Chains A and B, each alone.
Chain A
């Protein structure tokens, strides 16, 4: 069931993610190291972080600080990390994957990149809103609207 992942593959992904946040890098490396149909080419190319989306959410008070438990503004680096992660999780490999055919049936590997990602947004009153999104754009829209009451 499980297959070994060549060290070089993970290393390539890490190199490709060199400019990304640590969390995003770990996330994508984890995806790459997971067994399954994800292609090396796709993983190694890494996600492209949209700086316009980063700018859209950076500075918003939507993040709960693990150390203090307080809601605070999300930093630029955290915003970049967030967008990178969601992009990696929702981006499908470029081009049409090939369908295998057996006895008239067809199979397609649609990749380890998930379609749907759940994100959270902390509100000024300490409550948390949770949303299922399918793209970095959608995530940024949801997160940038916070705090709802000041927009």
Chain B
């Protein structure tokens, strides 16, 4: 468990109270301080009684919020090493309807050097997020610039009128898990974000940032940081931001972890004929009907026609029973988005005998979003295709060409990675400034913490094979430094115990150091005493050896460290 403290601040005055909420043996990691910025009686200090939930022992709503927030911070702090404390100023306040929370870095630094033994900035003329700059400098950069000790690295606001799940166990049911949302937002503040305006392509103050050092446009083979920081370069970056499927993360740690985290099976449509529109394209999948498979469903495409009536004003919206069932039967129906539910359109096509349905978007944009809705009677697959592809198909059909296609998943390609195995970043056309690029692509599967959609099936783990978040942090410069000496560790650390075993990458994509920290966390959290802690570690590492994850020598190193941990 990382060292973690909570500060209580009133709205205007530091109360000064420092509370240790989580006690555990000292370990590698970073201290993350949550500065409670709420006034008495509200937010983190809301006295409303609350029953303990999901491992959260707080007895008031305010306590539970703070504990859940700190728990999320501790999950990051466990995995990131820094000898400089990280400060997150946080508050629960009434936000607008449907707004859950926000976070971002407060300061950025560039061209900084490190204290003796510390590397400083790896890239010149490159902005770094505050907490990362501190880590690499080995000192609090804010104080270097004359600021006060404890000035926040990250600012966070969360909604006090939203009913979050406040448990720590991830069993959130239909509620939104506060721990997951905080993990995501802190991820942005710790480094998972660029400082580029994707609409204009301009950098922050004309300078690139550490995130852009690893943002690669595969159509040009250029990293965003390499693009000249002037008006012509801005235009190139703005154009690049629109290239769906072509903007990837080329950091070595993420790339090595991708095969261990993402699954094969990219959802797509392959148009076989006519040659004029042949090719594959990304599709939006449906939340109803059968999942796409391989080899998928193949067939000729026909327009689904229906009356223009009160259910839908168009003869291609499929909001009414189709009138050309004879043509549709046994084929893939093409219908237009709009007016009525997706499930109605697909059901009407199914009733007409269609074997699959393509819903052509009615607004320009790429990639196409999914199809929402629920109807257990739908038994054929359906997808959303981009408006442009739909128009191209319609033009060919109008010219009496035969359009043949397949919808399914490409089992040769990882969902969320490009053909070269790089993790895709979220690129859309039109661009979503600030959100585009500063997330993983939402096509990723398994779902990732740092996608723009915060999915309900996420775990709290940041490492492979569950997630790619920590891997990206490693790429941008959060190197492993369990002994906090400023030098990347060659061997792995368990708690504060440095082993003589190399920090190798394991068969599940995690490093030995990653796993050691997780074992340490899990065993420290549940152990009643030192003996129980050692036993827990022995059990976990014995299982890891049995499964082939680690060697006997690696197990021995962990267990010896566990025995020495106090």
User: Which residues of A are interface residues toward B (Cβ below 8 A)?
Assistant: 1-2, 4-5, 21-24, 26-27, 30-31, 33-37, 62-64, 66, 74, 78-79, 81-86, 89-90, 96-97, 99-100, 102-121, 123, 125-135, 137-138, 141, 143, 145, 147-151
Q: Shortest beta-carbon distance, B333 to chain A, in Å?
A: 17
Q: Which of B71-127 contact A (CB under 8 A)?
A: 89, 91, 93-113, 127
Q: Of the candidates A82, A104, A134, which one forms a contact with B438 in the assembled complex, judged by CB atoms under 8 Å apart?
A: A134
Q: B96–A81 contact, CB under 8 A? A: yes
Cβ of A110: which chain B residues have Cβ within 8 Å of it? 104-108, 195, 204
CA–CA, A1 and B89, complex, Å: 11
Given A121-B98, A143-B98, also A131-B93 (CB < 8 A):
no
Q: B100–A118 contact, CB under 8 A? A: yes
Q: Shortest beta-carbon distance, B188 to chain A, in Å?
A: 5
Chain A residue at minimal CB-CB distance from B155: A112
Q: Of the candidates A78, A118, A128, A135, which one forms a contact with B101 in the assembled complex, judged by CB atoms under 8 Å apart?
A: A118
Q: Of the candidates B97, B103, B113, B338, which one forms a contact with A116 in the assembled complex, judged by CB atoms under 8 Å apart?
A: B103
Q: Which of B169-187 contact A (CB under 8 A)?
A: 174-176, 181, 184-185
Q: B454–A131 contact, CB under 8 A? A: yes
Q: Quick one: CB contact mask for B278-316 with A, threshold 8 Å, 1 for yes?
A: 000000000100000000000000000000000000000
Task: Sort A-B residue pairs by CB-CB distance and give the 6 closest, nearest first.
Answer: A134-B434, A148-B372, A149-B373, A85-B96, A114-B104, A2-B14
B interface bracket (residues with beta carbon within 8 Å of A): 35 or more
Given A105-B111, A110-B108, also A83-B96 (CB < 8 A):
yes
Cβ of B146: which chain A residues have Cβ within 8 Å of it? 102
Q: A151–B337 contact, CB under 8 A? A: yes
Q: Shortest beta-carbon distance, A87 to chain B, in Å?
A: 10
Q: Of the candidates A21, A96, A138, which one forms a contact with B435 in the assembled complex, judged by CB atoms under 8 Å apart?
A: A138
Most B CB contacts (10 A, CB to CB) among A34, A103, A145 go to: A34
Q: Shortest beta-carbon distance, A7 to chain B, in Å?
A: 9
Main secondary structure of the interface of B (DSSP, over half): loop
CA–CA, A141 and B455, complex, Å: 18
Main secondary structure of the interface of A (DSSP, over half): mixed
Given A36-B152, A108-B205, A115-B434, also A1-B99 (CB < 8 A):
no
CA–CA, A30 and B188, complex, Å: 21
CA–CA, A99 and B453, complex, Å: 34
CA–CA, A31 and B91, complex, Å: 9
Q: Shortest beta-carbon distance, A67 to chain B, in Å?
A: 11
In the complex, 5 of the A-B residue pairs with CB atoms within 8 angstroms, ordered by the A residue number, are: A24-B95, A27-B94, A103-B113, A114-B103, A150-B341
Q: B96–A78 contact, CB under 8 A? A: yes
User: Which residues of B are interface residues toward A (Cβ below 8 A)?
Assistant: 7, 9-14, 35, 37, 89, 91, 93-113, 127, 141-142, 144-146, 148-152, 155-157, 161-163, 174-176, 181, 184-185, 188, 193, 195, 204-205, 287, 337-338, 340-343, 369-374, 432-435, 438-439, 452-456
CA–CA, A6 and B141, complex, Å: 27
Chain B residue at minimal CB-CB distance from A123: B372
Cβ of A79: which chain B residues have Cβ within 8 Å of it? 97
Q: A118–B373 contact, CB under 8 A? A: no
Q: A30–B102 contact, CB under 8 A? A: no
CA–CA, A44 and B449, complex, Å: 35
Given A30-B91, A114-B104, also A1-B35 (CB < 8 A):
yes
Q: B98–A105 contact, CB under 8 A? A: no
CA–CA, A5 and B373, complex, Å: 49
Q: Shortest beta-carbon distance, A21 to chain B, in Å?
A: 7
Given A105-B111, A115-B104, A120-B98, also A33-B12 (CB < 8 A):
yes
Q: A5–B12 contact, CB under 8 A? A: yes
Cβ of B163: which chain A residues have Cβ within 8 Å of it? 64, 66
Cβ of B112: which chain A residues have Cβ within 8 Å of it? 104-106
